[in-house]
Each structure stands twice: as C-alpha cells, then as structure tokens.
Amino acid sequence: MVLSLYVVLFLALHLLPGVKSSMANLNNNGYDGIVIAINPGVPEDEKLIQNIKEMVTEASTYLFHATKRRVYFRNVSILIPNTWKSKSEYSMPKQESYDQADVIVANPYLKYGDDPYTLQYGQCGEKGQYIHFTPNFLLTNNLPIYGSRGRVFVHEWAHLRWGIFDEYNVDRPFYISSRNTIEATRCSTHITGINVVFKECQGSSCITRPCRRDSQTGLYEAKCTFIPEKSQTARDSIMFVQSLDSVTEFCTAKTHNTEAPNLQNKMCSSRSTWDVIMDSDDFRNASPMKGTDPPPHPTFSLLKSKQRVVCLVLDKSGSMSSEDRLFRMNQAAELYLIQIIEKGSLVGMVTFESLATTLNYLTEIIGDNAYEKITANLPQEASGGTSICSGLRAGFQAIIHSNQSTSGSEIILLTDGEDDQISSCFEEVKQSGAIIHTIALGPSAARELETLSNMTGGYRFYANKDINGLTDAFSRISSRSGSITQQAIQLESKALNITGRKWINGTVPVDSTIGNDTFFVVTWTIQKPEILLQDPKGTKYEASDFKVDKLNIRSARLRIPGIAETGTWTYSLLNKHAKSQMLTVTMTTRARSPTTLPVIATAHMSRSTTHYPSPMIVYAQVSQGFLPVLGINVTAIIETEDGHQVILELWDNGAGADTVKNDGIYSRYFTEYHGNGRYSLKVHAQARNNIARLSLRQQQNRAMYIPGYVENGKIIPNPPRPEVKDDVSEAKVEDFSRLTSGGSFTVSGAPPAGSHTPVFPPGKITDLEAKVKDDHIQLSWTAPGNVLDKGKEKMLFNLSFPM
C-alpha cells in the first residue's frame, strides 16, 4: 500500500486537536463548559444533535451514581460547524473551538469500525486530549456491542478527565494468575464468562469449541476469546466492560485485579481506577451531594462557528529598536499575512507604545491587494513606552468598528516590554470573549502576559535568540475550525550563519499530500544573498524570480507557481558580503487539494508551568488524519530564556515517557533546566530513506468491542468487528519534513545553569516481558538511563531451567 491509496481509508479531512486547553471545570458537583464539536466534514443532520443530547443526559445520571453522588454534567456546548446552515437557535461561540473541544464528532480514522476512543498519552492521572465519536456511532444502534451511548461516554470521560486506563488488553487477553489458573484480563475478577474459539457463526448461532492451552506460553491459543455472561452480579468495572447492566462502578482497592496485564496496572503502578480518580483535582474537594434526589438534567447551548476574525496587536515601543526586533516582527507578521492566514479571514492591525494606533480595520483576505493594504502599514520606527492594555482595547475597537463581535475573535499580541498595568484590563479581556494569543519577545516581556492566553484559551509563545522564533510562532497560529486542508504547513525553518563569500546548500522534501500555495522565503541581516532554488524536475529559480519586500525588511519571497513538484527541492545561498551574516530559510505550503489529507505534526509540553525539580515531558504527534505516522525522526529544540538550546530526540517506543509504542506520539522527558523564566519548544519531524509508515491499527483507550454474550447457557454473538489484516496493517509514507512550534512554558525554582547535579532518578521499567525459548526463559525490557529515560538501551536477560 502507498499513501495515495485513500480509497482504503475512511479518513476525516480535518485537523486534530494538538495542544489542549479544555474549558471544562467542576463547580459544586457539576461540570460546566464542556465542548462537543462537530467536524466541518460531517454532513448536516439534526438527529446527530438530538442523539448527542440524549447521550450526555444519560451519561450524567450514570456518572453521578458511578462517582457515588459526587459529579454530573451540568452545562454542555455543542459547536456546530460553519458548513451547516444557520438557525435562530444557534448562538455565537466565545473561546469554544473544534481544536480545543473535549469531544469531537468526526468520520472514523479508518474504515475498520466506529470504536469510540480517547486520545490519551499522558502519565497516570493526567488528562487526555479529546474523545472521538464517529457520526455512525452516534446515529446507529450499537447497544449490544458497546452498551448504551451514555455508558460509553462515561468510560471515555474517565480516560479524558482523570487519566485512568483500560482494564482489558486486546494484545494480552489472558494471563496466568498467582493461583496458576488462566484468567481473562479484566477487572474485577468477579465478572464471569466462558473462554471459547469461534469456528463458525451464522446469524445468531455460533459453533464454538473450548480453548486449548499453548505449550510454549502456558496460555490459551491465540484465537481464544472471553465471552462474558449477560447476567452478572459484579458491579465493577466501568473501565473493563461498561456495557453489562450490572456494571455501575469503578474498581476499588478491594475489588481491583492487580495481576491483570492491562494498561491501568502498567501506567498506574497497579492502583485501582477509583483510587486514581479520588486523587484527581476534581475529587480532592468534591463531597457527595446530600439527599437522594438525582442531579438536574444537563443544559445545552448550540453554538455555530463564524468567519475567522484576527487582529494583530503589535508592540512598537522604544525597546523594539534593539536586536533587530522591529525587523524580525515585521518579517514574521508579513509572512503570517501572506502565507499563513486562511483565505476568507478578516484581519485588522493595531500598533501600540504608550498609546495605541489603529492602522487597519478588518479586511477580508481574498487576493494580494488585501494583505498589501495591511503589510504597507507595518511600523518602521520604534519609540515610546509600553501600554499593553491600550493595544488590546484598540484591537477590540478595530473588530467592533468593522461590525464584528469580539466574541470568538482572535488577537495576536506581540510585545517585548514590561508593563505593570497589564492586569487592569484582565476583566475587559474576559468579558470580550476574545481569544488572545501571546508572543513574548525577549527576556523582559511582561511576566503577566501568559495570563491573557491562559484565561482566554489562546496559544502562548516565546522568542529570543532564535532568529526564526517569531516566524515559527506566527506559523503555528492557524484556524481552529477543524478544516486542515485550508491551513498552512511549515516545511522548513532554518537559521544559517554564513561566512563572507561562502555558499551553503540545503534540501527540503515535498510529499504528495501537499504542494498548494507553496512559498520559499529567504531573509538576511546585511545584504541580499544570491539564491538558487531547484525543483525535483530540474526547474531553477534564481534571485531575480524572488519578490523583494518594498518595506526594506530584508526578505525575498517566491511563490511556487501552481502545485509544487513532489520530491526533493534543493537550495543554495551565497553570502555576497565580505562579513558573516545570518540568513534564514522558511518554506510553507498547504494541502495539495481539498480532498487530500496532509501529514501534520503538533507538539506541546506536559504542562505550561513547572517548578524545579519536577520533570516535564515533550510530546509530538505526527499523523495523517487520525492515523499515526511511525518510523520517523522527531527532534525537539528547547530554547531557554538565556538563549541556550537543548536538543532532544523523541521516541515512540512505549518506554520511559512514552505511554504506548507505535501510536504516533513521540515523547521524552525534559530535565536539562538552565535557570528560570520562559522556555520555547520547536519540533522537527522528518521521514527519511522511505522507512516511514502509516499505522492502520485501532487506537488504544477505547470502549471495548464485545464479541457477544452468554445468555441462558447460549452464546449470542455480535456482528464481527472489522479487523485490519496483517498484510494491510501499515501503509508506506513518502519522505517528508514538518516543523511546528510547541509554544512556551515557564520554569521556576531552578538553580542557575551549570550549578546543579542531576536530581532525577532512573526511569521505571514498564515493558518487562518473558518468553519461552527452547529450554530457557528469555526476559526482555528497556533499561532506563541514569536520569529518567536518558541513556536507555534494550537489554536481554536469560534464565535457564530444565524442561
């Protein structure tokens, strides 16, 4: 199989949420602010909204009793895509968006079923990213297979909100207990059933036989299946099989099966699910509601996405004249307006120092004339003080003046200055309903800046010594609507310090999923270099083909005509000046067509703030649609406030910081702190030498597909679950390059750089396995390094015994 064979894949053509900032919060036992977002690619269907309401209403009561009267769902927003028709009952969203939703409704990530699942790759007790329901799951009767939709929602909510894991294991469905009996992997062991091999099924009748024992493993043969009894007395656990009528609770310390080889035991050190839930932030201060009355039914708000509205609020105070900051800001803002912002968006611009000036009210980005009206007004001089609130207020007025609401609009706020009055407009910002993305430039930017992005669900970035830091930040601020084929993708972002009169060469792969609206940009600090760019078919572009900016912001831009050729592009740059100068290369593109799913990369840290010596985890997700991309090189570049860079290779090996092997989530512990302050994260994902592949296997952390039940001694089968055959479990992926910013994070309590010794222990062994080989047992595990997962290697240990 190759990547272009989309006919075998039932893929959603839209963006997956990357960095999550859930609006859900718990107040007086009720969850408010839950967002369920429907993908723009889902056809309009009123029944979908009705079924979502019914699912959440049922789930609320089930959750209330499962948590012993502690929590329920109170207020839920359903985000309608702008591809659906407008209706009077639809309100305008504030900070709610598809990318930040708790639940997304989108077409399946492959054609092999509609299993609900939660994208969850954090450590035990850490929140997941989102729950994914398919339209087919919500619109058809799946009661025999998964149980009621409300029960399934509670199973997935436990993954998402409390960071607990499944208590079954598809890969290891049986284990040998301490009593030397073969048991189904489950919790609790009070759930009864039979173990059989299906020989043949016709309709509601199946021919089965008892499972045979494998002499090599001591377990049942590979095709053996555990079929639960329909009628049970066991009340737990929801994380094993929520579909059984009797199951209404989570496993507790008394009922938890510590021997089962499931992800809950692996990730949570054999703690029960209820123990982890009770230790969560939600439950530490949540007492059971008094009385016997059930909770009130949830209330629902229907919100419809609107046309994207963005206002740039840019600092032009006196400090912006240092270190070429004004130039760098203008270069990055111009790139954003020409190459990143989606066509059809409304964009305005405000600058500020002690006072604010509105340079452009909202302009619809349609053709070249539109963005030229804005770029022509980029500030050319820096002077004055810093009043961030003045800039924000002017930004709000620029939006309102253009007959748009600030609610749901976006502000991109860039500043390098301190401002002790910034908190004076926090309440105005909160009331505006706007989303504030903040970019802190340099080490002196106001420390309260991140509060603005945190309170509004915006992105937060930091740029300092990395000359491409601003470009990378702006490139990350795409639409949150879920329409990935409209969004810009960054292929290259490189800073090159070239000595006088010297050439430097480089390559950028362009794969067949991209190539529309492709730009190649070169910037310089002293003198325009000689530029040679060649496509895979030999067509050459020279410096004369590049458009040099009229505003003297030292950049040259080439828009590749039509669709960029697939293959390796090569470039050569000559520093024509006698002295060394810094050159940068940036390449961006979009999906090849509205029906072509591009490979994308997103990145973030496990937390936005940390206090030394608490370690953090770097996460990068590389996917095509909902399918993970495997076998690639993923590198994280972390820049500290003083400009020091730490480079980490991220791994998808299921050990150390990585939860599950081969799920397209590349992870690594970060422990190399260099003082306090802001740190920035950038990730480069590269597929090389044609070894990358697309995984077609089902996700982890999903509601279990029940093959059938035993009722009155007879097996009642469910329809067989579509499985991925071994010969099509992976598809080849062309070589590609993706670069993405992971935003910024803040460190406190760290000693100065170089003044401390490592205080982090070796990582925990989580993948110990035993296999019988001839006359001995072979144990294998990934050995931890001296500092968490630093310095790991695969080790084997053999233990012989007489057979």
Active site residues: 156
CB atoms within 10 A of CB 207: 12
| Residue 21 to residues 101, 431, 472, Cα–Cα distance (Å) | 8, 18, 20
Which tokens in the block code for residue 224?
Answer: 């053996």
As beta bridge partners, residue 118 has: 131
CA 465 to chain centre: 27
Rg of the chain over Cα atoms, rounded to whole angstroms, equals: 28
Strands 72-73 and 30-32, bridge-based pairing: parallel
Alpha helices in 96-181 (DSSP H): 135-139, 143-146, 149-162
Q: How many angstroms separate the CA atoms of 157 and 133, rounded?
A: 12
Q: How many angstroms separate the CA atoms of 448 and 430, rounded?
A: 15
Which tokens in the block code for residue 631?
Answer: 């076998």
User: Are 317 and 399 in contact, with CB atoms under 8 Å apart?
Assistant: no
Can you list the positions of beta strands (E) in 139-204? 174-176, 182-184, 193-202
Q: How many angstroms separate the CA atoms of 191 and 667, rounded?
A: 36
Which amino acid does the sequence have at 195?
A: N
> In b/e form, how buried is each residue of 680-693, taking b as 16+ CB within 10 angstroms?
bbbbbbbbeeeebb
> In b/e form, how buried is each residue of 533-555, taking b as 16+ CB within 10 angstroms?
bbbeeeeebebeebeebebebbb
> Which value, to the nearest 10 degrees, does the dihedral of the CA atoms of residues 144, 148, 153, 156 take?
-30
Phi–psi pair at 266, nearest 5 degrees: -65, -50
What SS3 state is found at 778? strand
| Residue 640 to residues 320, 411, 475, 648, 672, Cα–Cα distance (Å) | 20, 26, 20, 14, 10
Q: How many angstroms separate the CA atoms of 300 and 279, rounded?
A: 29
Instruction: Residue 158: name the closest of 200, 184, 126 by CA.
Output: 126
User: Are 109 and 699 in contact, with CB atoms under 8 Å apart?
Assistant: yes
Peptide bond into 188 cis (omega under 30): yes
Start-to-end C-alpha separation, the chain: 44
Strands 460-463 and 435-441, bridge-based pairing: parallel
Instruction: Residue 419: name the closest of 392, 448, 394, 391 by CA.
Output: 448
Q: How many angstroms separate the CA atoms of 158 and 161, rounded?
A: 5
| Residue 682 to residues 427, 489, 586, 648, Cα–Cα distance (Å) | 32, 14, 14, 11
Strands 72-73 and 503-510, bridge-based pairing: unpaired
Which amino acid does the sequence have at 633?
A: N
What sign has the CA pseudo-torsion 604, 607, 612, 613? negative
Q: How many angstroms separate the CA atoms of 342 and 451, rounded?
A: 27
Place of tokens 């723009």: 40
Place of tokens 């996405």: 305
Phi–psi pair at 139, nearest 5 degrees: -105, -15
